[in-house]
Chain A
Amino acid sequence: ETGVTQTPRHLVMGMTNKKSLKCEQHLGHNAMYWYKQSAKKPLELMFVYSLEERVENNSVPSRFSPECPNSSHLFLHLHTLQPEDSALYLCASRPRGGGSDTQYFGPGTRLTVL
């Protein structure tokens, strides 16, 4: 276990629903990431937060809305999703500075959009 938790682990939602994914870490890391992993595609970076400030938005549709209220928590708010948004959503964190490169991932939320 890496110390990065994600809830829920599984989510099924309709296209008109609004839901949120949560990521939490108490490792003292202050950079956090959202990735999308679709079947048969490489892992895609969605958002990067450093010290609660968004530093990267990788051309993600506006139906995905991230929120980072503090350095331990990261949310991904979902609304009016499409079936092609069904995927495994992975959160990661890493310490900022100190020469450490490694990102540590949570277990992911498997999302199905009906």
Chain B
Amino acid sequence: AQKITQTQPGMFVQEKEAVTLDCTYDTSDQSYGLFWYKQPSSGEMIFLIYQGSYDEQNATEGRYSLNFQKARKSANLVISASQLGDSAMYFCAMREGLTNAGNMLTFGGGTRLMVKP
């Protein structure tokens, strides 16, 4: 079974509107971390936001927020007030277990977001 599932291969959003990118995960660990990265066409993976499994509040970073629903094992990314520069691939990733030297991440298949002017 896939550990990280992103069910939306592509999405459109109108500029200045909010958009939610879905991510569900599968783990039996009690301690884990969830990440979102943005990958523009240039290729670089840009870290956006992080949510720890024990964090009681949803993470927020500027226009990005993470809608963390632990019981449903979902960690959706919400982008408010979309901008043309938000057009990119977005990847959800998970680190299972405690932070350690290896800290391996498992990535989802990604969602391509296209912002319309």
A interface residues with partner B (beta carbon < 8 Å): 2, 31, 41-43, 45, 48, 50-51, 55-56, 88, 90, 92, 94, 96, 99-108, 110
Contact = CB atoms under 8 A, between A and B. Distances in A.
A36 B115 CA distance: 27
Contacts of B35: 101-103
Given A101-B95, A102-B50, A42 B107 contact: yes
Contacts of A42: 4, 106-110
Nearest to A96: B101
A32 to B, nearest CB: 11
B5 to A, nearest CB: 10
Contacts of B44: 2, 105-108
Contacts of A92: 45
Interface string B37-58: 1000011111100101000000
Contacts of A102: 35, 47, 50
A45 B104 contact: yes
Contacts of B108: 42
Contact of A55 (B4, B45, B102, B110): B102
B91 interface: yes
Interface in B32-85: 33, 35, 37, 42-47, 50, 52
A101 B103 contact: yes
B22 to A, nearest CB: 15
Given A101-B33, A101-B52, A106-B44, 18 more contacts: A31-B101, A31-B102, A41-B109, A42-B4, A43-B91, A43-B105, A45-B105, A48-B101, A55-B102, A90-B45, A96-B101, A100-B99, A101-B35, A102-B50, A103-B47, A105-B37, A105-B44, A105-B45
Nearest to A50: B101
A13 to B, nearest CB: 18
Nearest to B110: A42
Greatest chain A CB density within 10 A among B37, B93, B105 is at B105
